[in-house]
Every structure is written in C-alpha cells, then in structure tokens.
Amino acid sequence: MKNISLFLLLFVLSPAFAQKKKAKAPVAPDTLQQLDVFVNKMLTEWSVPGAALCIVKDGKLLYAKGYGVKDVKTKAPVTAHTLFGIASCSKSFTAACLAILADEGKLDWNKPVKEYMPDFQLNDEYATRTITARDLVSHRSGLPRHDYVWVSAPLNRKEMFDRLKYLSLNKPIYAQYQYNNLMYMAAGVLIERLSGKTWEAYMQEKILDPLGMKTTVLTYPEMLKSSDYSLSYDDEKNPTKEAGFDSNVDGIGPAGAVKANVTEMSNWLMLQLNKGKADGKVIVSEKNLNENHTPWAVVQPAEAKYPEVGFGTYGMGWNINTYRGHLRRQHGGSIEGYRSLMTVLPNDNMAVFITTNTGAVGYNLVNTVTNYIVDTYLEKNVIDWNSRLRKDFTDAKEKSAKAKLDNETQRRKDTKPTHTLGSYAGIYEHPAYGTLTLTMDGDALKADYHTEKIALRHYHYDIFEGQGDWEGIKFKFLMNAKGDFDRVSVEMPAATMDIEFKKK
C-alpha cells in the first residue's frame, strides 16, 4: 500500500461551535507543514493507503485534512469530507444518548435495566437483575465478548438481544473489565424502549442534527450512496484486496455503526470539550456527560508498558488515563479494514481524531500520529513513538510465529481420526452462535459459518484446526455413548471459552 498525498491543508472554522472567549494565537504555519511531512512519511512507512485527521484547539477546528487515497485502484483521494467507518468510537455517542435520556428524566443510572426491559435476560440471574445502564456501557457485566454471535451473522438487533440468555458469563458482574459489544447493543435496545425511537432515530434527532453532522450516517447502505467514502483494506499480503462490508456492524449499531468524516467529527470533539454545549445550547448536561467521563472500571493490566501513559480505566464509551501528566480520554475503533482513534485532552482544550482505511497495521499508525500531534501542540519534546511501535509490531509478529511453531510442536502427528471423515460432517447448532455446517471438500473437511468459509486440517485424534483467517482455531469433535459424533466444541475467537455446537 502506497501513500499519495494529494490535498492541501484545509482550515475549517465552524461558527456554530466557536467559543465566545478570546482565542489563543494560531499555530505557526511551519508546525502544520511539519505535521504534513510527518503524516505522509508515516503513511509510506506503514503502507497505509489513506487517512484523514482533524485537530480541535481552543474552540476551533484548527486543522482538517485527507491524505492518500480512498481507493487504491482508482487513486481517488481522501478528503476532509471522506466518510470512514469509525467503529467503536461510536460507543461514546451511545453513552451520550443514555446521558440525554437521564437529562430527560427517563433513565436512572442506578436502576437495573431489567425494570425498564422485562425481557432482558442473561445466563446468570444475579447479573440479569443487577445490571444497570451504567454497567452495560462500562464493560463490567461479567460477559466476555462473544463477538461471533454477531460478526457476519444474519441477525437483526432484536434477534441478538433475544440470544443473550444463551451466552455464558465467565466472571461475576463487576469482577473485571471485559470489553463487550453486545452490551452496547443492549444499551441501544434500552434507548429504543425509553425513547420510543430506534437508536438510529434518537441519535439523529438528539446528536447528529443538533451538531450539524449532516453527512454522518449510521448504516452501510447510506454510506454507499455517498459520493465520498473510503473503501477499506485488511490484508497485508494482498494490499489491494478490499475488506468488504459484511461484518453486520449495522446490526450491532450502538457498538460501532457510525460512519463520519473528520470535519464533522470535530463537532463531536468540541461538544466533549465544551461540557455538552454547542453554540451555547445544552445538548447534554455537564452533570450527565460527566457520568460518561467518570472511570467505572479498571482496565487490566492497569500498568501501561510505557512510563508516559498512566493507569488505564474505562468510563462510558471512553478510555481514561493520563499521557505525560495530562488527563486523556480516548477510544479506538476497528471494523472491516478501518482503524480510528479519537483523543480528548480536556485540561488542555485540545482534541484529535484520526482515521485510516487499513487494518493491516492495527492501531500503530493512528497512535503514532496522535502522540506526535499531542507532543507538538503541548510543547513537549517529541517522543519517537514510531520506533517504539514499529518494534512492538515486529515483536508481535515474532510472538505469533513462535505460537505457530509451538502449536505444531504440540501436535501428535502420528495420530489419525477415529472415524471416517464423513462421520464428522453435519449441521451443528448453538442457540446464540447459530449454525455451523461441516461438509466434505474432496478428502478434507470444511466448515461454513455465517459468511465464513473455513478450511480444516486434521490436527490430532478427533481435533481439527482452522486454516486461513481461522488459523489455529481448534474444532474438537465429541462422541455420545453410541460412538457417534453429536457435538463439536470450538475455540471461538473472542469468547475466552469453547462454544459447543450440537448436531441436528
């Protein structure tokens, strides 16, 4: 992936969000030129095709720009108005919707959601009757991610909601921070029940319209109608291969469905800095926005690797810690091949949002650029985060390669399946995860799961192993007393536990 810088600096000042107080002196032009040089260099070094960023400082949208291309084949440029999927950065919007409902007197943060939604049911009765709206959006429900309930699944929000009761918790409620998209989905259902409107309609009315986020959309069909959106890429070996849009993120919408550009995201950042106000009008009260900004869970491990970063905590839709002694609220976003990062430094009246169109390098580029900007504008010496994160990236690859070698070493290569391959074939089901179909593919097995096509190889005994994107995932076939395979236990990604599918 090659970076091609095609756009000049765009200075954009939104009158609707300008603060009344006297603005500070503008940043020297050479600082912005240096930023341009740095971003272009990073896109080239990390092989990122396109990106966009904005900087908000002292009540102004100081800087908004697109870099590189939104389509590697046509070379169409990214602009400051190009839509990207911002993924889990959307969580802060959903948390703010809950805060607005609290302002309206429709939500009590401390009231169990079961009292608002009698049909809310988890696999643990105490958690079911205890969880509040605050708990849904602070990742302390006791439920692990279970992301493959929704990823690429043919389910709508109500169907996901109804399946929560079939998902095992692996921790008691409040015991530990565990990131969870499904609980944000449930928060979206709560918003619907309390407001009488869908999450999408409530978002539009209470946040997007008042903030002038006119081109921001909440579904892929809406985005695809736009004349300016970025494709996404996620394959390091094949950088021109599109990631596509089949994740079903629109179904899990409140957890990650916002598609926005950097110009309009600046309005969202200014709302955060201006304590819930826009153009002097209260969109969400300072009191309830502070609920979003209050740490409710400790992120494990609490100690960061680098000394400049403080202990990690989570509020509602925001990671909260310190950076070089400065209070920092952040959230990343990852869906398809998009990677985004929003950063707010409330005591410095500054915020940054950056988004990219490849997932092949994870969050390394967005973190590197964000930290460079913060270092520069806070007049600190600039830390060489690029070298640090480049080493981390290389180390992670080496660790992954070692894990593959260890996996191969642990394999009993002299074993054979106990049954003929056709005996493993069949349709297996889980009440939440859905249908897993095993069929013969020549002299091998393959699995079909949602839109995933998974090649399997025999690992040892009655255990098979996924290939490709599912490399290393074990499929463990289990027999009944008659000696027939009636279950398959899968090390499902992001579940932290095996998921057992029963044969029909």
Each residue's pLDDT tens digit, 233-276: 999 889 899 999 999 999 999 999 999 999 999 999 999 999 99
Q: Are residues 361 and 428 in the same domain?
A: no
Q: Which of 367, 398, 429 is the last residue of a domain?
A: 398
For 97, the domain range is 15-101+183-398
User: pLDDT digits over 371-415, tens only?
Assistant: 999 999 997 799 999 999 999 999 999 999 999 999 999 999 999
On the 0-12 / 13-18 / 19+ scale of CB atoms within 10 A, 378 is middle
Helix (H) / strand (E) containing 364: helix 364-377
Proportion of the chain above pLDDT 70, given as a percent: 94
Q: Are residues 328 and 425 in the same domain?
A: no
User: pLDDT digits over 119-175, tens only?
Assistant: 999 999 999 999 999 999 999 999 999 999 999 999 999 999 999 999 999 999 999
Rounded CA-CA distance 469/100 in Å is 40
Task: Summarize the confidence of residues 430-453 as an average pLDDT.
Answer: 96
**pTM, whole model, 2 decimals?**
0.92
Q: Please compute Rg for the chain using Cα positions.
A: 24
pLDDT at residue 14 is higher than 50: no
pLDDT score at 31: 81
Longest dimension (CA), the chain: 81
Task: Summarize the confidence of residues 422-439 as an average pLDDT.
Answer: 97
On the 0-12 / 13-18 / 19+ scale of CB atoms within 10 A, 326 is middle
User: pLDDT digits over 114-132, tens only?
Assistant: 999 999 999 999 999 999 9
Q: Are residues 481 and 361 in the same domain?
A: no
Q: How confident is the model at residue 95 (pLDDT cuts 50, 70, 90)?
A: very high
Q: Give the chain's end-to-end CA distance (angstroms, integer).
A: 45
CB 78 within 8 A of CB 105: no
CB 178 within 8 A of CB 139: yes
pLDDT score at 301: 75
Q: How confident is the model at residue 102 (pLDDT cuts 50, 70, 90)?
A: very high
Q: How confident is the model at residue 11 (pLDDT cuts 50, 70, 90)?
A: very low
User: pLDDT digits over 166-218, tens only?
Assistant: 999 999 999 999 999 999 999 999 999 999 999 999 999 999 999 999 999 99
Structural domain tally of the chain?
A: 2
Q: Are residues 34 and 88 in the same domain?
A: yes
pLDDT at residue 9 is higher than 50: no
Q: Are residues 286 and 214 in the same domain?
A: yes
Interaxial angle between packed helices 91-103 and 181-195, expressed in degrees from 0 to 180 and rounded to the nearest 10: 30
CATH code of residue 226: 3.40.710.10
Rounded CA-CA distance 283/273 in Å is 13
Sign of the CA dihedral with 338 first, then 351, 259, and 309 last: positive
Q: Are residues 206 and 344 in the same domain?
A: yes
Q: How confident is the model at residue 27 (pLDDT cuts 50, 70, 90)?
A: low
Ramachandran category for residue 139: left, alpha or beta (phi over 0 → left; psi -120 to 50 → alpha):
left
Rounded CA-CA distance 486/238 in Å is 39
Q: Are residues 233 and 377 in the same domain?
A: yes
β partners of residue 260? 84
pLDDT at residue 220 is higher than 70: yes
CB 189 within 8 A of CB 196: no
Mean pLDDT for the chain overall = 93
Q: Which residue has the tokens 């740490």?
A: 295
When comparing pLDDT for 18 and 500, which is higher?
500
Task: Summarize the confidence of residues 325-336 as an average pLDDT.
Answer: 97
Rounded CA-CA distance 72/50 in Å is 9
